[in-house]
Chains A and B, each alone.
Chain A
Amino acid sequence: MTLSRIEAFNLRKEFGSIVAVENISFTVETGEVLGFLGPNGAGKTTTMRMLTGYLRPTRGDVSICGINMLANPVKAKACIGYLPEGAPLYPEMTPATLLRFTGQARGLGGKELENRMDETADLVNLREVWNQSIETLSKGYKRRLGLAQAILHNPEVLILDEPTDGLDPNQKQEVRLLVRQMAQSKAIIISTHILEEVHAVCTRAVILASGRIVADGTPVELESMASDHNAVTILLPTTGASQFAEKLEKIPTVSAVKITPEGEDRCIVQAFPSRGSLILTQVTDLIREQNLNVLELRQEPGRLDEVFRNLTIPTTDPAYGGQA
């Protein structure tokens, strides 16, 4: 059995009387990109801080590349590249001196360090500001420099706390591309608020709420938990729509049908399948049979944001009004 690159076992963290993280366990292997999702305060950053050895867990264990973080922190930290929340950097340094410092602190030196600095500078596009003081850099450059110090030593494990926060859409795309490129040879964890990012980069996602894991699966698995997963949506002229809807309801595998008006003379008919069944063929057969003039037809993959909301909003809280 090969050891996982990242192993979290029953992590718990208390701050005074507040339990920030409770009973979190998971593993990440090389080639995986695990997404950490969850509302603010769900425990994403706290968990990452325990994984990287910044915070000591109240209970539980962390091992990185088979090395126990609590017993052997210096060795375990050497395997990690970490971008902390908000990408804190020494303001009076320059990208060049900062990378040289973190490289030296990680035991790199001489030609090897210079080569790694060159490669990293090109990889995250830092050349233009190479010798400019960090306090004068834009948010985007700071974030990229934070990423640069995390990947400088080509670590086996990469932990990135909101790596695309504060970047413009083009830069976000670049960072996602970079993470995907590095994924083959590393075990990566990224936290994000942006659900589309999960599809773009993650092979697996964990949803955290109130310090606990409430869901763990591939993006597709998570989407299948949505109420509109595999639902069929049809856009058609209003005339004949209600008749069509009645017929749809008679299909045994259809559990519900919803009609919503769209503009003046069109409406959207949505058919929801009963659990685990596919209804697309039945619906298209019916359309053909009725000879309907359909303007648009699609099968819903399931919306991640709905799954996210259902899992992370306490249903008992009336402030949120329950279901989406």
Chain B
Amino acid sequence: MNIAAIYRREMRSYFSTPLAYVFIVIFLMLAGIFTFYLGGFFARAQADLEPFFTWHPWLYLFLAPALGMRLWAEERKTGTFELLMTLPVSMGDAVLGKFLAAWSMMAISLALTFPIWITVNVLGAPDNGVIVAGYLGSLLMSGAYLAVSACVSSATRNQVIAFVVSVVLCFIFLLLGFPLILDLFKPLLPGAVISFMSTMGFLQHFDSIVRGVVDIRDVLYFITFIGLWLYAGAWAVDHHRS
């Protein structure tokens, strides 16, 4: 009930301002550029969407923080935070309602890439099961990026800070399994923690889903990750009230 009210307000605010339209157009343009130029969609001459999905982690790295940075920072800046926090809405409902609205924006944008799915089906005979898995993995990963951004947004009233910090954090989680990031932490943390961290990056989990292997552990990884960051976000929102 309350989640629905928060969710509807957020969605209304996306679509009553240019934000939703600008976001969707930029999303589709960037997705297209990545797929056709960087991914070499046609040159590969294969009927699959791998060059499309491969670039999504990098697409979300900037687009998710852009969407997430305003979630709380804007409310705190304009003072509507006080209005929201004195409505009879639980912290969980407020955090979840806002998150789900932002995630819906991602889902809508992602859904609007459907012409590329039609294209590969016209040009060849792709494995549509793998493509469905790709969309699922992409959506889950975008949720993970958003959950991080929403949490960071609740800690500041400055949207620029929220954006920059979110991008850095998302980048760390994106490449957590790679030496680039692991080497940074190696001198600081015990080996057991490092080897645990090496399995916690977005990219490994995303890659296996995109290859068509929908392992329940990868799905659970993203869902748990989202849950934990939302919980941390709710704590931060509550903490910053007083």
**Contact among A56, A86, A107 for B242, CB-based, below 8 A:** A56
- In the bound complex, what is the Cα–Cα distance between A105 and B9 (angstroms)? 10
**Contact among B2, B13, B16 for A105, CB-based, below 8 A:** B2
B241 adjacent to chain A (CB < 8 Å): yes
CB nearest neighbor in A for B89: A105
Surface stretch bound by A, among B77-85, B108-116, B121-129, B145-153 = B77-85
CB nearest neighbor in A for B12: A97
- Chain A residue numbers with a CB within 8 Å of B79 are 84, 86, 88
- Chain B residue numbers with a CB within 8 Å of A258 are none
CB distance from B206 to the nearest CB of A (A): 34
- Chain B residue numbers with a CB within 8 Å of A80 are 86
- In the bound complex, what is the Cα–Cα distance between A324 and B57 (angstroms)? 70
CB distance from A85 to the nearest CB of B (A): 8
> Which of B5, B13, B16 has the most chain A CB atoms inside 10 A of its CB?
B5
Q: Is the CB of B85 within 8 A of A53?
A: yes
- Chain A residue numbers with a CB within 8 Å of B81 are 88
**Contact among B5, B6, B241 for A54, CB-based, below 8 A:** B241
| Chain B contact surface mostly | helix
CB distance from B235 to the nearest CB of A (A): 14
CB distance from B54 to the nearest CB of A (A): 36
**Contact among B9, B16, B86, B241 for A84, CB-based, below 8 A:** B86
Surface stretch bound by B, among A71-79, A187-195, A248-256, A303-311 = A71-79
Known contacts A86-B79, A101-B8, A105-B5; A93/B86 CB under 8 A: no
A52 adjacent to chain B (CB < 8 Å): yes
Q: Is the CB of A107 within 8 A of B12?
A: no
Chain A 48-80 interface mask (CB, 8 Å, partner B; 1/0): 010011111000000000000000011101101
Q: Is the CB of A89 within 8 A of B83?
A: yes
- Chain B residue numbers with a CB within 8 Å of A73 are 90
CB distance from B9 to the nearest CB of A (A): 5
- Chain A residue numbers with a CB within 8 Å of B1 are 104, 107
CB distance from B24 to the nearest CB of A (A): 17
CB distance from A188 to the nearest CB of B (A): 16
Q: Is the CB of B2 within 8 A of A56?
A: no
Q: Is the CB of B88 within 8 A of A77?
A: yes
A90 adjacent to chain B (CB < 8 Å): yes
Q: Is the CB of B88 within 8 A of A107?
A: yes
Q: Which of B72-99 contact A (CB under 8 A)?
A: 78-83, 85-90
Known contacts A74-B89, A93-B13, A101-B9; A49/B82 CB under 8 A: yes
Q: Is the CB of B13 within 8 A of A104?
A: no
Q: Is the CB of A74 within 8 A of B88?
A: yes
CB distance from B102 to the nearest CB of A (A): 16
- Chain B residue numbers with a CB within 8 Å of A122 are none
Q: Is the CB of B4 within 8 A of A104?
A: yes
Q: Is the CB of B16 within 8 A of A93?
A: yes
Q: Is the CB of A88 within 8 A of B86?
A: no
- In the bound complex, what is the Cα–Cα distance between A97 and B79 (angstroms)? 18
A141 adjacent to chain B (CB < 8 Å): no
- Chain A residue numbers with a CB within 8 Å of B4 are 104
- In the bound complex, what is the Cα–Cα distance between A90 and B77 (angstroms)? 11
Q: Is the CB of B13 within 8 A of A102?
A: no
- Chain A residue numbers with a CB within 8 Å of B13 are 90, 92-93
- Chain A residue numbers with a CB within 8 Å of B83 are 84, 88-89, 102, 149
Known contacts A90-B13, A93-B16, A104-B5; A55/B86 CB under 8 A: no
- In the bound complex, what is the Cα–Cα distance between A109 and B139 (angstroms)? 32
Q: Is the CB of A93 within 8 A of B12?
A: yes
CB distance from A161 to the nearest CB of B (A): 10
Q: Is the CB of A53 within 8 A of B17?
A: no
**Contact among B8, B12, B80, B87 for A88, CB-based, below 8 A:** B80
Q: Is the CB of B16 within 8 A of A106?
A: no
- In the bound complex, what is the Cα–Cα distance between A101 and B86 (angstroms)? 14
CB nearest neighbor in B for A53: B86
- Chain B residue numbers with a CB within 8 Å of A133 are 16
Q: Which of A133-150 contact B (CB under 8 A)?
A: 133, 149
- Chain B residue numbers with a CB within 8 Å of A102 are 83, 87
CB nearest neighbor in A for B6: A105
- Chain B residue numbers with a CB within 8 Å of A78 are 88
Q: Is the CB of B88 within 8 A of A55?
A: no
Q: Is the CB of A92 within 8 A of B17?
A: yes
Q: Is the CB of A56 within 8 A of B241?
A: yes
- In the bound complex, what is the Cα–Cα distance between A102 and B8 (angstroms)? 11
- In the bound complex, what is the Cα–Cα distance between A249 and B6 (angstroms)? 71
> Which of B8, B17, B87 has the most chain A CB atoms inside 10 A of its CB?
B87
Known contacts A90-B13, A92-B13; A54/B86 CB under 8 A: yes
Chain A 75-119 interface mask (CB, 8 Å, partner B; 1/0): 101101010101011111100010001101111000000000000
A-B complex: 6 closest residue pairs judged by Cβ atoms = A88-B79, A104-B5, A78-B88, A77-B88, A105-B5, A56-B242
Q: What 17 new A-B contacts, CB under 8 Å, besides A49-B82, A77-B87?
A: A52-B86, A53-B86, A54-B241, A56-B242, A74-B88, A88-B79, A88-B81, A90-B9, A90-B78, A92-B16, A97-B16, A101-B5, A101-B8, A102-B87, A104-B5, A105-B89, A133-B16
**Cβ contacts A to B, 6 pairs, < 8 Å:** A54-B241, A55-B242, A92-B16, A97-B12, A104-B8, A106-B88
